[in-house]
Structure 1
């Protein structure tokens, strides 16, 4: 497993890391014992960064992860969770609530310290509140030792500079971007020089576009347009005809970029995590990557957006 430094945090994170949303049964029902074993397998194979949120499965993901980590030495993993989003359409970025949220997460995760605390999906927030209230509250928690580092997450790319440009250097140490660096949408590349210049660590999530680039396909709630979903489905089918695993190609594409510290993959199944690790540790097959990029060219960088109207990216389709 490769390891990279997560911006100015100094944290050395695995190039492929564990996204624990699946532990909350977000995508489908899980077997808890298998989910716990999946976490242990990930750690045993060098995946040392774990990302979760109280939102995933209405706190279930944090609860299951806490059970999994109970028997694991604390220095074996780097733990990230989030504040601000708690249920479908339920957001509260007030200083009071995010401070309370950290204590609740510490209890569920059965730890005394969170390595990285992140404002979750800030496109749904008033960015003035994020700048003036939420981030200061989280930095206050750093003085207590409950959290070490602070970051922000979101889907629209525009929200990142909109916040980072309004705070002092070092206030935002990381960003988590999802569905913006994958085979069908690599628009995050446009922000990489900006983020590198500011020494901000980059966490990439959803290398398969939340299921777009899988044989199962996108779940019914997926916000992508029919055109995007159809374009991805065609690429998946063509890969299958050629005997290629598009998930393998998708993971290798993401992990191959040295400017992205880590890419999150989520699963609650031991066989899936072992396959993902195998894909990440193998040499990237750039001929296959280029071939799939060519297949996806008709919809490349077509996107979907969400959040408050003022926080949304311009729609490309």
Structure 2
């Protein structure tokens, strides 16, 4: 079974590897619905009993399918997190009114009476002061009603976490693509986050397939240099009889300061394989070699959302 770690001051403990349900929303490929539904029990049986989703994933499809997959599963046997504020590629609404509506719609879709974690989704796309002044206060009201246990924010730039936490407390934060073999900027933020008493969740150990042998999705923003360097690292792993995806996953779950690492697939056999990898010893020699190969692109990142909400270029 997967080891567990405490999540900040929430009193929750999460498995070191958690199930990301974005794959159920066909964010990476068209999925077979029966296979996708089978991925959820495969995750739960593997000990990945924190599930992360969003109304953005599949524009509601992920939450709806989760509601089907979790039907009849005892509510106290899993922890559930979803998000609000982002509903399509360009549709964002972080108003107080939409907070109330979004919480209720997500609960109805998934067939539950509460979620354990509710995050403001990809706040770098909007005026972040609204999150402090309007969204989070509205979310605290939903928390007081018991519909939401803990609240926080998620997104890509590191800068946004300090912007919010310097003004108001949060229970949890979630970042993606920023604690991987290629980018460890999130790790640099850990002392600040711990000082604020925030639960730290990581996501996307494969950096949207960059650190795998699978083809990148068409929307991936990696430059030619980044793609070529990552390919060299993958080829090196293959020459050593290993898989860069395995090393990437093991690296991302190894840091004890990261409570959990969220990743998902609509393929049950892949979910089970990841759970096995997470508890196998990491090849430290191979890790050192791969980090050397990736060094020219270490901490490379791209701009996401409003330019002013992003980190300063390297």
TM-score by length of 2: 0.98
Structure 2 equivalent of residue 123 of structure 1 = 124
Instruction: Give how far 1:242 is off.
Output: 2.0
Equivalent residue, structure 2, for 1:289: 287
Q: Distance in 2 between matches of 1:211 and 1:314?
A: 25
Deviations 1:221-261 (A, max 9, x none): 01222221221111112212222111110011011100000
RMSD over aligned Cα atoms: 1.0
Q: Aligned pair 1:191/2:189, yes or no?
A: yes
Q: Which residue of structure 1 lines up, in the alignment, with residue 252 of structure 2?
A: 254
Shift of 1:315: 2.7
1:185-223 deviation line (CA, Å, top 9, x unaligned): 111121011011111111111101111011113211012
- In the other structure, the counterpart of 1:298 is 296
Q: Secondary structure at the match of 2:312?
A: coil
Tell me the distance in 2 between the aligned counterparts of 1:260 and 1:173. Answer: 14
3-state secondary structure, aligned to 1:86: coil
Indicate conservation of the 8 Å contact 1:235/1:296, yes or no.
yes
Q: Does residue 202 of structure 2 align to residue 201 of structure 1?
A: no
CA distance, structure 2, for counterparts of residue 154 and residue 176 of structure 1? 7
Between the aligned partners of 2:203 and 2:228, the Cα distance in structure 1 is: 22
Task: Give 3-state SS (helix, strand or coil) of 1:243's partner.
Answer: coil
Give the drift of 1:46: 1.1
Residue 148 of structure 2 corresponds to residue 147 of structure 1? yes
Q: Distance in 2 between matches of 1:217 and 1:157?
A: 27
Matched, 1:223 2:188: no
- Give runs of aligned pairs for residues 79-98 of structure 1, distance below 5 A: 79-98=80-99
Distance 1:71 1:285 in 2: 40
- SS of 1:216's equivalent in the other structure is coil
What residue in structure 2 maps to residue 36 of structure 1?
37
Q: Which runs of 5+ in 2 are unaligned?
A: none
Aligned-partner Cα distance in 1 for 2:77–2:288: 36
TM-score under structure 1 normalisation?
Answer: 0.97
Uncovered stretches (5+) of structure 1, i.e. residues with no partner: none
CA contact (8 A) 1:14 1:262 kept: yes
- Where do 1:1-317 residues align within 5 Å? 1-167=2-168, 171-316=169-314
Contact kept? 2:165, 2:196, Cα under 8 Å: no
What SS does the corresponding residue of 1:40 show, helix, strand or coil? helix
